[in-house]
Amino acid sequence: MNYKAPRGTVDVLPTESGKWLKLERILRTIADNYNVKEMRTPIFEHTELFNRAVGDTTDVVTKEMYSFNDKKGRSITLRPEGTAGIARAYVENKMYAWPEKLTKVYYMGPMFRYERPQSGRQRQFHQFGVEMLGVESPYVDVECMLMALTVVKALDIKDVTLHINSLGDDASREAYRTALKDHFRPHLHELCEDCNDRFEKNPLRILDCKVDHEHPSMASAPKTIDYLSEGAKAHFDKVCQLLDELDVDYVIDTNLVRGLDYYSHTVFELISDDPKLGAGSTVGGGGRYNGLVEEVGGPATPGVGFAFGMERLMLAMDDDMTDDAGIDAYIMPLGDEAKDYAMQLITVLRAHGFCCDMDFVGRGLKGQFKSSDRFHAQYALIIGEDEVKNEIVQVRDNETKEQEAVKVEELITYLDHKMGV
């Protein structure tokens, strides 16, 4: 039997994990920079949470969730996104009562969506997400956008455009919903069954339809921005004004509605034309969700956030961005006696804090030098019969190729000195 990883999942091999670690380190540094703390929520939640929060007419909920019954018959879902879990935990842990009114958190981890896999799209993928809960101010919307832009800048992702739009508050969305229904009503018989269903339950979702997206009624559909209430318009205008003052480039994309139901007011996406991703690829997106916390049982609490697909960030990053710095020393024993000696030595070196490895294969000098190169070892420590007898080690600087015989008892001092410790 040949086992294969399930479709849409990938193995991160040791040759690639250095790049992942680098990405994670950059993201954590940016989070520190913005005073955003990490929060970890479960990878699975009760299915009902996502139906509620993400919305039971969205594609994510109707088509893409990995749901199953546990042994007690409860419906459980592998999280398709992170915001719902954060909102649930925020309420459950009464974080709304914490002294600091604005809670700023981030998360990094696997998400699951049953989608057709392609480059940058998987069934198990990873998100870096940020949520800022508790304050309704447009300044916080901009704080999120700035942080998202800092990420693409730090990773040197090319040709990124910030797209923004506003869905407005409840009153705006109600007016828009009526306008959308009036617009689509005469076309209903030409639209798919799902769209007919969406028409009754949630007409906004007609705009995400993958079947009818080229139907002429889509392009001529009313725009959310034309139905904003006075308050919603003032909020959006302030966001735009702040971005202008900060010299942040953006486009107002009136077609941007996002595929999850919890959004209100500002929504945004970072779209890259970097050839490594393919033109028009969305690396991240987010927006405000002022109704979500209440929807999942908490007190009315505004929120705003965003998430990046980490696989997409990885694709766009240069391969030489890696945390795989190489080791300090590779120990090369020649012969059985030397191996015993090497094992003693490596233990002492590691205890001193050096990153080391040694040959466990029993190869000749040539083969061992190849490993030393592959591991990017700074020093090769060669131990043959004579070295064992005379209690010395041949220390080869792999960069300068200079080699010196060093007394074993002086080795640590010698390496410390060479490495400038």
Question: Whole-angstrom Cα distance, residue 25 to residue 323?
Answer: 9
Residue 391: which region, alpha, beta or left (left: phi > 0; alpha: psi -120 to 50)?
A: left
- Interaction between residue 141 and ligand HAM (CB under 6 A): no
- Interaction between residue 131 and ligand HAM (CB under 6 A): yes
- Interaction between residue 23 and ligand HAM (CB under 6 A): no
DSSP summary character for residue 5: P
- Interaction between residue 50 and ligand HAM (CB under 6 A): no
| Main-chain phi, psi angles of 109, to 5 degrees | 170, 180
- Neighbour-count burial for 366-402, b at 16+ CB within 10 Å, e otherwise: eebbebbeebebbbbbbbbeebbeeebbbbbebeeee
Considering only residues 349 through 408, tell me which ones interact with ligand HAM, judged by CB under 6 A: none
- Interaction between residue 113 and ligand HAM (CB under 6 A): yes
Using CB under 6 A, pick the residue from 59, 169, 311, 359 that binds ligand HAM.
311
- Interaction between residue 274 and ligand HAM (CB under 6 A): no
Burial of 105 per CB tally in 10 Å (0-12, 13-18, 19+): buried
- Interaction between residue 290 and ligand HAM (CB under 6 A): no
Sign of CA dihedral 170, 172, 173, 177: positive
CB nearer to ligand HAM: pick between 120 and 203? 120
x-marked contacts with ligand HAM along 247-266 as a string, rule CB under 6 A: ------------xx------
- Interaction between residue 55 and ligand HAM (CB under 6 A): no
- Interaction between residue 121 and ligand HAM (CB under 6 A): yes
- Interaction between residue 127 and ligand HAM (CB under 6 A): yes
Q: Which stretch binds ligand HAM (CB under 6 A): 115-123, 146-154, 222-230, 345-353?
A: 115-123
CB nearer to ligand HAM: pick between 144 and 206? 144
x-marked contacts with ligand HAM along 69-108 as a string, rule CB under 6 A: ------------xxx-------------------------
Size of the site for ligand HAM (CB under 6 A): 27
Question: Whole-angstrom Cα distance, residue 420 to residue 75?
Answer: 58
Select the residue whose beta carbon is closest to ligand HAM and give its number. 309
- Interaction between residue 122 and ligand HAM (CB under 6 A): yes
Residue 353: which region, alpha, beta or left (left: phi > 0; alpha: psi -120 to 50)?
A: left
Using CB under 6 A, pick the residue from 26, 30, 307, 393 that binds ligand HAM.
307
Question: Whole-angstrom Cα distance, residue 41 to residue 54?
Answer: 16
Q: Which stretch binds ligand HAM (CB under 6 A): 156-164, 301-309, 372-380, 383-391?
A: 301-309
Sign of CA dihedral 276, 281, 287, 289: negative
Please choose, from the candidates 59, 307, 47, 84, the residue with its C-alpha nearest in 3D space to the C-alpha of residue 205.
Answer: 59
Structure tokens at 142: 């901009």
CB of 309 to ligand HAM, least distance (A): 2
Q: Which stretch binds ligand HAM (CB under 6 A): 114-122, 325-333, 339-347, 354-362?
A: 114-122
| Main-chain phi, psi angles of 296, to 5 degrees | -95, 20
- Interaction between residue 312 and ligand HAM (CB under 6 A): yes
Please give the full DSSP string across 24-86, using - where no structure is assigned: HHHHHHHHHHTT-EE----SEEEHHHHHHHT-TTSHHHHHS-EEEE-TTS-EEEE-S-SHHHH
Binding residues for ligand HAM (CB under 6 A): 81-83, 113, 115, 120-122, 125, 127, 129, 131, 259-260, 282-287, 305-309, 311-312
